[in-house]
Structure 1
Amino acid sequence: MVRGKIEMKKIENATSRQVTFSKRRNGLLKKAYELSQLCDAQISLIIFSQRGRLYEFSNSDMKKTIERYRKYTRDHETSSHNSEIYIQQLKQEASHLITKIELLEFQKRKLLGQELASCSLEELQEIDSQLQISLGKVRARKARLFREQLEKLKAKGKQLLEENVQLHQMTVMDPWRVSIDQQEKFRVVDLNLEVQTDLYIGLPERHCK
């Protein structure tokens, strides 16, 4: 026979309610015992009836279990509280950074000549001073780069001039000089005439017979 589903609400009949309490209490205590034995879990079960009677089960010292529970809940609450404080701090820092970025963007627009209508004379003078300082730094950087490039070009020109002088001196001293390594000698043999001839590459030389 299939057992019907019981609706989860308070049993109005006192006798039925007491019978149900006794049966389910014993079943709950039995399950707690089985769970502690099978899984080696630390279990403490406390039940108060409607009339105020106490029923309990514990596979270890009940007071130690309760103290352990209290310590766990305190640590958990402290951890949660600290997490909330940390999150609030992060939100405040993020809000501060957003405000700072907006202020910097506003100052940047002013330096670019935008949104100047709301600026006072003192603010405009301060902006002008900042621009003059920035312009001076830019010009100094530009002048230094020009000097460095000019020095490089001068050094390169000097090197080319020295190389040109060396080449000119070599040309004046011996314009027809050809190194021995540049000379190539080929011997051509005519097999039909059986005459051996020599071919030279270089300045013509006189051969005496």
Structure 2
Amino acid sequence: MIGTENMFKKIEFLEVSKRKLLGQGLGSCSVEELQEIGSQLEQSLKNIRARKAQLFKEQIQQLKVKERMLLEDNRQLCEKCGGSGKLWQQSLTKQRNAINDSAQNKQCSEVVTELFIGLPQSH
């Protein structure tokens, strides 16, 4: 019986902690508790952003590999169609200029996201 009682207490503690992380039941929290909850959320958000950045970096690397393969395919097709190396180089230069122009024209902007932890609310 003692093990079961301890288990119920642990479950209740975890449920209360979860509700607090979801922003519910904060009325009884002290300033110190609220600061701790805020710190936990900030650390979680930091971890999420780091993982997202890592995934973006991996995707960029994969796309660069794909770009190199497509450029090589394009070069081979130009040769098969009787195109000269000079024609292929001109095409490649145009493609790279277009990519660079596009990247330079995009402005960096800060993106604000909302953090939601928990199950979606049903309407």
TM above 0.5, yes or no, is yes
SS at the partner of 1:104?
helix
Q: Distance in 1 between matches of 2:14 and 2:63?
A: 42
TM-score calculated relative to the size of structure 1: 0.39
Is residue 39 of structure 2 the alignment partner of residue 129 of structure 1?
Answer: yes
Is residue 21 of structure 2 the alignment partner of residue 111 of structure 1?
Answer: yes
Pick one of 9, 28, 44 that aligns with 1:99. Answer: 9
Is residue 45 of structure 2 the alignment partner of residue 158 of structure 1?
Answer: no
More RCO (CA 8 Å, sep 6+): 2
Instruction: Identify unmatched segments of 5+ residues in structure 2.
Output: 84-123
SS at the partner of 1:172?
coil
Alignment of 1:38-53 (within 5 A): none
Q: Distance in 2 between matches of 1:157 and 1:94?
A: 59
Instruction: Identify unmatched segments of 5+ residues in structure 1.
Output: 1-90, 174-209
The Cα shift of 1:94 comes to 1.3
TM-score calculated relative to the size of structure 2: 0.65
SS at the partner of 2:39?
helix
Considering fraction of residues, name the structure with more strand: 1
Task: Give the number of aligned pairs.
Answer: 84
Q: Distance in 2 between matches of 1:148 and 1:105?
A: 36
Q: Distance in 2 between matches of 1:92 and 1:146?
A: 49
Q: Distance in 1 between matches of 2:61 and 2:8?
A: 47
Match of 1:169 in 2: 79
Q: Distance in 2 between matches of 1:154 and 1:169?
A: 23
SS at the partner of 1:114?
coil
Offset from partner CA, 1:182-202 (integer Å, 9 cap, x none): xxxxxxxxxxxxxxxxxxxxx
Considering fraction of residues, name the structure with more helix: 2
Q: Distance in 2 between matches of 1:95 and 1:102?
A: 11
Match of 1:19 in 2: none
Q: How well do the aligned residues superpose, as a CA RMSD in angstroms? A: 1.5
